[in-house]
Amino acid sequence: MPFHITITRSKSFEKRLSKDETEKILCYIDKFIRDKSGKNIDKTDYSLRYKGSTSYFNWNILRAVDKGVFRIEEDGFQSKITYEYFMYQLFIVVPIMGIGFWIFSGSYLGFLLCVGWLGGMNWLITVIRHGSMFNEITEGIDTLFIELKNNK
């Protein structure tokens, strides 16, 4: 599996979303990201962008990404939500640290260990956690649709 700096996930809805439904979904995602310490959230009619967390604690899910974008797109007779997140910083910092290990240890094994283990495992953990976060968001959207349907 190649290492991707940008990961995209998407889910299709059974119907085309109205402007009101799209707004409610983006408000739900906005609240979700703010609860996870996202910063610089910019919401438009059909998308929401955020920058990673300001938290310095590694357990914060948004810490490992530089930015993320949620888009609601029309796909034929249905709508689709797409989540794209970017991990440039991970692939800049880890090789620099690896080169430092290589220089100070005098062996390229320090570089390989740093890039392979530190970079690879952080990448894998981020991919798994953000996949889980996207699933949690889409389950919340499904619940939101059920609530909207019951309130009519």
| Residue 146 belongs to a domain | yes
| Residue 24 belongs to a domain | yes
| Residue 22 belongs to a domain | yes
Q: How many domains does the chain have?
A: 1
What's the pLDDT tens digit per position in 33-54?
888 877 788 898 899 998 876 5
| Residue 132 belongs to a domain | yes
Q: Residue 1 has what pLDDT?
A: 40
Sheet containing strand 78-86, edge to edge, reads: 6-12, 78-86, 67-75, 47-51, 39-43
| Residue 1 belongs to a domain | no
DSSP state of 78: E
pTM comes to: 0.82
| Residue 129 belongs to a domain | yes
Query: Under 8 Å CB-to-CB from 37, ≥6 apart: which residues?
Result: 53, 54, 55, 60, 62
What's the pLDDT tens digit per position in 96-128?
888 887 888 888 887 888 788 878 888 888 889
Q: How far apart are CA 124 and CA 36, in angstroms?
A: 20
User: Please, are residues 86 and 92 in contact by the beta-carbon 8 Å criterion?
Assistant: no
User: Please, are residues 138 and 81 in contact by the beta-carbon 8 Å criterion?
Assistant: yes
| Residue 114 belongs to a domain | yes
Instruction: Supply the range of the domain harboring residue 43.
Output: 6-151
pLDDT bin (cut points 50, 70, 90) of residue 56 is low
